Amino acid sequence: QKEVEQDPGPLSVPEGAIVSLNCTYSNSAFQYFMWYRQYSRKGPELLMYTYSSGNKEDGRFTAQVDKSSKYISLFIRDSQPSDSATYLCASAGSADGLTFGKGTHLIIQP
Amino acid sequence: DADVTQTPRNRITKTGKRIMLECSQTKGHDRMYWYRQDPGLGLRLIYYSFDVKDINKGEISDGYSVSRQAQAKFSLSLESAIPNQTALYFCATGNGQFPYEQYFGPGTRLTVT
């Protein structure tokens, strides 16, 4: 079992909808929780990060971590076609390297 | 110019051949990483380096070796390529002060026939 589990999708929603992306993790030592976005034929880029539990908001994006249930979420409000990409959740306990989920392929239909 | 560059971008090679993938960065970061990405398996860490004299194995290092020639250069070698090493390979850099943030190169698509 991977330390970070993520449904690969694809997840298809209409433009303007609220998108909910989720991951679970198993390693209690993880302290940093990240969401990376990867467009086709590109490398991943950091979208948001959270340290320990709690919420973080950045424009249309909200990242949420619940350490008691080991659950990581990303919410996208007012979704746009340009949000279509693969979203990778990742966790880290230190700087050894990030542990990634498989990625969820998101499609926003115009 | 891109901060993290990878060469080649695409490569087709035959089973048993030795191949090297190269990564260079201009971000001034001390930490560099090599990942491979496979459909259905996500990104997996192969090797990482915290400085020129520090090399560490990741989750899937068997069949690979690395060399950190300078702070800005980190190469990945496949000594004898096999078909199941066909994948997308990414180099990444990081700053030790921010363990959550890594900057990825554009990737190298490697096909082993």
Q: What is the mean pLDDT of residues B97-112?
A: 90
Answer for the pair A32, B99: CB distance below 8 angstroms, yes or no.
yes
- Collect all residues of chain A within an 8 Å Cβ-Cβ radius of residue B96: 95
Can you give the pLDDT at residue B106?
95
Q: Is the pLDDT of residue B107 over 80?
A: yes
CB contact under 8 A, A95 and B56: no
Can you give the pLDDT at residue A66?
93
**Beta partners for residue A108, in sequence order:** A13
Summarize pLDDT for A50-95 with one digit per residue, the tens. Answer: 888 889 999 999 999 999 999 999 999 999 999 999 999 999 876 5
Summarize pLDDT for B5-27 with one digit per residue, the tens. Answer: 999 999 999 999 999 999 999 99
Decide which of A98 and A1 is more confident: A98
Can you give the pLDDT at residue B1?
61
Q: Is the pLDDT of residue A44 over 70?
A: yes
Residues on chain A bordering chain B, Cβ-to-Cβ distance under 8 angstroms: 2, 6, 8, 32-34, 41-46, 49, 51, 88, 92, 94-103
Q: What is the mean pLDDT of residues B80-100?
A: 91
Return d(Cα A30, Cα A45) in angstroms, integer: 20
Can you give the pLDDT at residue A29?
86
Of B43, B100, B105, the CB nearest to A88: B43
CB contact under 8 A, B104 and A8: no
CA distance B26 to chain A (A): 16
The 10 Å Cβ neighbour count of residue B92 is: 26
- Collect all residues of chain A within an 8 Å Cβ-Cβ radius of residue B104: 43-45
Summarize pLDDT for B16-66 with one digit per residue, the tens. Answer: 999 999 999 999 999 999 999 998 888 999 999 999 999 999 989 999 999
pLDDT band at B96 (very low <50, low <70, confident <90, very high): confident
Q: Which residues are CB-neighbours of B63 under 8 A, at least 6 positions away?
A: B78, B79, B80, B82, B85
Can you give the pLDDT at residue B101?
86
Q: Which residues of A58-97 are buried (b: 16+ CB within 10 A; e: fewer)?
A: eeebbbbbeeeebebbbbbeebeeebbbbbbbbbbeebeb
For B49, which residue in chain A has the nearest alpha carbon?
A96
- Collect all residues of chain A within an 8 Å Cβ-Cβ radius of residue B31: 95
- Collect all residues of chain A within an 8 Å Cβ-Cβ radius of residue B4: 43
Can you give the pLDDT at residue A61?
97
Q: What is the mean pLDDT of residues A38-44?
A: 92
